[in-house]
Structure formats: structure tokens, C-alpha cells
């Protein structure tokens, strides 16, 4: 009994320590915010007649959206200026020309009054058409001004019904203005045409598309996107990885973007001086329909191919972004002539495109590089890749060992007392 308890406690301690040792702040990359103005988010909600359908957790799509909005409004960070725009909320008639002008600002972008915003959302009733293109143009105008981040979150249950104004072309037009506006899209029900259109809108502005079928998923995703808007804005640098380490571009501290084809590997190099620590994180986004069960791998290796440390993560189709990271403290050297070590970073993902989905261009990836002064004593833990988690590992293993001894002794004492009685 004592042995089993010790093993369980030790295993838990090791797992916790490994997690703590490999974790590092996502915002570690160097880079300056593009401005100090408040971040702005405009929630654009489809209130067309199809939102009456009752196929989300036993309630209507509109009811699910309202519930999600209330939760999002409660959780919105104080520093975020938030607005709400509707499409298809006011015109119930059959005139397409009139219906395709049906977009209105329900709550203006600005400091959030939660009570007022919730009251406005409560009045919504599924009504008319689906003018996504016109709504996006107006939503972009709502966010005009300021140097902070700008984000539109579009929630719809169907494709645009106001052709020939193509929402994809509208999104490309918005992106071409160079105002740093990102559009993320959420589809409430599985629909091939809708998915293609919403994916196109998101891809045009560097945003993400997510298919949502449950209220909780909707709340969680919108909250995630609103929180993302509050993060410091760092301008990413476009780069192009190589097929092998020898040809890889040398990167300095910063945020980089690239695209990786299905079944492809990308290589990058980073120079690490003795006494410095390399921290790298990787995120790969599924900007189109992909098959479930996938993963990403980030390896740090020497120029001779010896693996230093690796980070990996897996997904099961419930998220559109998979991330992992590594850290490598380079030991200090007493040699005054010691030079920087070239560390090669290998990026691999196991996404596969769903049937009928285009495989080009490759999936977008973000690579964060930060080279900082290493922690004192880092030379003892470099090969393990545990960083400061080494000390936590020892403490937790010792705690688990002692707890196992005490628990086993108490168990034997209780058995002895029971037999005596």
C-alpha cells in the first residue's frame, strides 16, 4: 500500500513540476504596442429570421446567443471598449433592397455599461435578412479612430443573402485599408456554404473561424476573443522558414508569422550566447475545416541534429488554435572567446484538410522568440529543459514521498487497531 501511494504521489509531483517548468508567459516576446489607446471590440450579431430555429441545447439560436452575450458582458475586461451591432433585426418584409440595408448599432463602441448593454440585447427578436457585407462595412466604421487594437466578432447562422456585395470582398477591402482590424467569425450550425464564407472573411483579415453548436462553446469562444483584444498589440514580422536547418533564416527576439503546408516541416535558427536563455512558443491555427485529432511539435536541436528540448500539444477538433513552447538556458562559459550557439527550431504539425477543402496556402503559424539573460545556476538544468521548475520538482517529489510514508503508517495503524478490537 505504501509503495503504491508513494508512486502515485511521486507521479503527480513529477507531472506538476514538468508543467510548471515548461510553462512561460505567452507575452514574453519583445515588441512594442502599436498604441496606448483602449482596445475596441464590436460584436456583430445575426438577428435574421433563421435565428428562431430551436436546435442549440433545446433552445432557439437567438436565446443561446443572448445567454452567451450576457456572460460575455459580465466578463469583459474594464479596459476594453465594446459595442454591439445587429444585422437583420428590424425589417420583416420581403423587399431585398430594403432588407439588405438592415443593420443597426445596438450599443455604441465605448466604455461598457453592462446593465444598459444587457437591456439592449434582451429586446432582440429574430426578424429579417442576413446582410453580412453591409454590416461589416458599418462595423468597421464603428471602430474608426484610435491606435489600439480593433476586432470584430461576427456571429451568424447562415451565409449572406445580399449578393452581389460579397462579404469576402468586403473583408479584403477592410484589410487593404491597413487599419489593423481583425475579423473573427463564429458559425452557429454546421453548414458548408456558411463555413466557406465565414472562413474566407476571417482569413482575409488574419482572424479565425469557429463552428459552434452549444451555448457554452459560444460563450467561451467570444470571451476568448474579447480577452485577446485586451492583450498588448505586437506587430508580427512575416518570415519564411526553410526545409532544413542549414538554410533557415536567423531570427531575433520578436513575433513572427509564416504558413506551413500540410505534411511540411519549417526550420528557423536563433543565436544564443552563453548565459542566455531561449524561450520560444508556437501557435498553429486551423483557418479552414480540418479533420479531428491533430497536433503540433516544436523542437530545439543543435546544428548537428542533436535534440535539446521539445514541446508538443494535441487537439481533438474542439479548438481552432494549438500552441506549445520550449525554453533552453545556455550554460555560462569561462572561456572569454566563447561564441553564440546556433539553435535550430523545427516546426511540424499533423493537421489534415477535410474532404474538398483547399490545402493551399498552408496553415498560418505564429512563432514567438525571446532571448533573455538566463537565471543563475541555469547550467545545471539546461539538458532537462525544466528551467526554474527543477526546484519545484525536487520539493514536490520530497513532499509526495513524505506524504506516502505518513499515509502508509496511518493505514497500518488503523488496521492494527481494528484487529485488536
HEC states along the chain? CHHHHHHHHHHHHHHHHHHHHHCCCHHHCCCCCCCCCCCEEEEEEECCHHHHCCCECCECHHHHHHHHHHHHHHHCCCCCEEEEEEECCCCCCCCHHHHCCCEEEEEEEECCCHHHHHHHHHCCCCCCCCCHHHHHHHHHHHCCCCCCCEEEEEEECCCCCCCCCCHHHHHHHHHHCCCCEEEEEEECCCCHHHHHHHHHHHHHCCCCEEECCCHHHHHHHHHHHHHHHHCCCCCCEECCCECCHHHCCECCCEEEEEEECCCCEEEEEEEECCCEEEEEEEEEECCCCECCCEEEEEEEECCCCCEEEEEEEEECCCCCEEEEEEEEECCCCCCCCCCCEEEEEEEEECCCECCCCCCCCCEEEEEEEEEEECCCCHHHCHHHCCCCHHHHHHHHHHHHHHHHHHHHHHHHHHHHHHHHC
Instruction: Report the Cα 30 to chain-centroid distance in Å.
Output: 19
Summarize the confidence of residues 385-414 as an average pLDDT.
67
Closest to 90 (Cα-Cα) out of 67, 124, 63: 124
254-298 residue pLDDT tens: 889 899 999 899 999 999 998 888 989 888 888 788 888 888 999
What CA–CA distance (Å, rounded) separates 414 from 416?
5
Q: Are 182 and 364 in contact (CB under 8 A)?
A: no
Report pLDDT for 13.
Answer: 36
What CA–CA distance (Å, rounded) separates 51 from 89?
10
pLDDT at position 15 over 80: no
Strand order in the sheet with 294-301: 265-272, 341-349, 294-301, 307-315
Summarize the confidence of residues 296-312 as an average pLDDT.
93
Say what the alpha-carbon torsion angle 132, 135, 139, 141 is, to the nearest 10 degrees: 130
Percent share of the chain, pLDDT over 90? 41
Instruction: Please give the model's pTM, rounded to 2 decimal places.
Output: 0.54
Closest to 86 (Cα-Cα) out of 62, 68, 104: 104
Percent share of the chain, pLDDT over 70? 81
What CATH code is assigned to 40-230? 3.40.50.410
Could you tell me the residue ranges of all domains in the chain? Answer: 2-22+388-420, 40-230, 235-383
Mean pLDDT (the chain) is: 81
86-140 residue pLDDT tens: 999 999 999 999 999 999 999 999 999 999 999 999 999 999 999 999 999 999 9
Residue with cell string 440585447: 121
Closest to 188 (Cα-Cα) out of 71, 293, 52, 324: 52
β-pairing verdict for 276-285 and 363-373: antiparallel
Distances (CA, A) of 155 to 44, 62, 126, 386: 6, 11, 14, 41
What CA–CA distance (Å, rounded) separates 47 from 62?
7
pLDDT at position 358 over 70: yes
pLDDT at position 59 over 80: yes
Strand-pair partners of 301: 307, 344
Closest to 344 (Cα-Cα) out of 288, 293, 404, 272: 272
Strand-pair partners of 185: 154, 209
What CATH code is assigned to 235-383? 2.60.120.380
pLDDT at position 203 over 70: yes
Amino acid at each position: 500500500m505504501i509503495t503504491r501511494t508513494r508512486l502515485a504521489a511521486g507521479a503527480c509531483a513529477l507531472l506538476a513540476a514538468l508543467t510548471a517548468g515548461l510553462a512561460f508567459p505567452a507575452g514574453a516576446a519583445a515588441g512594442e504596442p502599436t498604441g496606448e489607446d483602449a482596445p475596441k471590440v464590436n460584436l456583430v450579431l445575426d438577428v435574421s429570421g433563421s435565428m428562431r430555429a430551436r436546435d442549440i441545447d433545446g433552445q432557439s439560436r437567438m436565446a443561446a446567443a443572448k445567454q452567451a452575450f450576457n456572460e460575455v458582458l459580465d466578463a469583459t475586461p474594464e479596459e476594453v471598449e465594446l459595442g454591439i451591432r445587429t444585422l437583420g433585426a428590424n425589417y420583416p418584409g420581403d423587399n431585398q433592397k430594403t432588407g439588405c440595408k438592415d443593420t443597426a448599432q445596438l450599443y455604441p463602441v465605448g466604455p461598457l455599461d453592462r446593465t444598459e448593454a444587457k437591456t439592449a440585447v434582451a429586446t432582440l427578436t429574430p426578424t429579417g435578412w442576413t446582410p453580412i457585407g453591409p454590416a461589416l462595412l458599418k462595423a468597421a466604421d464603428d471602430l474608426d479612430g484610435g491606435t489600439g487594437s480593433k476586432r470584430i466578432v461576427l456571429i451568424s447562422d447562415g451565409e449572406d443573402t445580399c449578393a452581389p456585395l460579397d462579404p469576402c470582398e468586403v473583408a479584403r477591402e477592410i484589410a487593404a485599408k491597413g487599419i489593423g482590424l481583425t475579423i473573427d467569425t463564429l458559425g452557429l450550425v454546421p453548414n458548408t456554404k456558411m463555413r466557406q464564407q465565414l472562413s474566407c472573411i476571417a482569413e482575409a483579415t488574419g482572424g479565425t473561424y469557429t463552428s459552434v453548436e452549444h451555448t457554452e462553446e459560444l460563450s467561451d469562444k467570444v470571451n476568448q476573443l474579447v480577452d485577446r483584444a485586451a492583450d498588448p498589440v505586437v506587430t508580427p514580422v512575416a518570415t519564411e522558414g526553410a526545409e532544413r536547418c542549414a538554410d533557415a533564416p536567423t531570427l531575433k527576439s520578436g513575433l513572427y508569422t509564416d504558413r506551413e503546408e500540410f505534411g511540411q516541416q519549417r526550420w528557423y535558427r536563433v543565436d544564443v550566447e552563453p548565459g542566455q536563455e531561449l524561450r520560444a512558443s508556437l501557435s498553429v491555427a486551423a483557418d479552414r475545416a480540418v479533420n479531428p485529432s491533430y497536433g503540433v511539435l516544436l523542437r530545439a536541436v543543435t546544428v548537428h541534429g542533436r535534440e535539446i528540448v521539445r514541446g508538443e500539444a494535441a487537439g481533438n477538433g474542439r479548438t481552432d488554435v494549438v500552441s506549445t513552447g520550449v525554453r533552453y538556458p545556455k550554460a555560462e562559459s569561462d572561456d572569454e572567446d566563447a561564441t553564440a550557439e546556433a539553435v535550430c527550431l523545427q516546426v511540424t504539425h499533423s493537421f489534415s484538410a477535410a474532404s474538398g477543402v483547399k490545402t493551399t496556402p498552408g496553415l498560418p503559424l505564429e512563432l514567438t522568440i525571446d532571448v533573455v539573460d538566463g537565471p543563475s545556476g541555469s547550467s545545471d538544468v539546461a539538458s532537462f529543459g525544466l528551467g526554474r521548475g527543477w526546484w519545484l520538482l525536487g520539493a514536490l517529489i520530497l513532499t509526495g514521498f513524505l506524504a506516502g510514508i505518513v499515509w502508509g503508517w496511518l493505514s497500518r495503524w488503523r488496521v492494527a487497531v481494528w484487529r485488536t478490537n
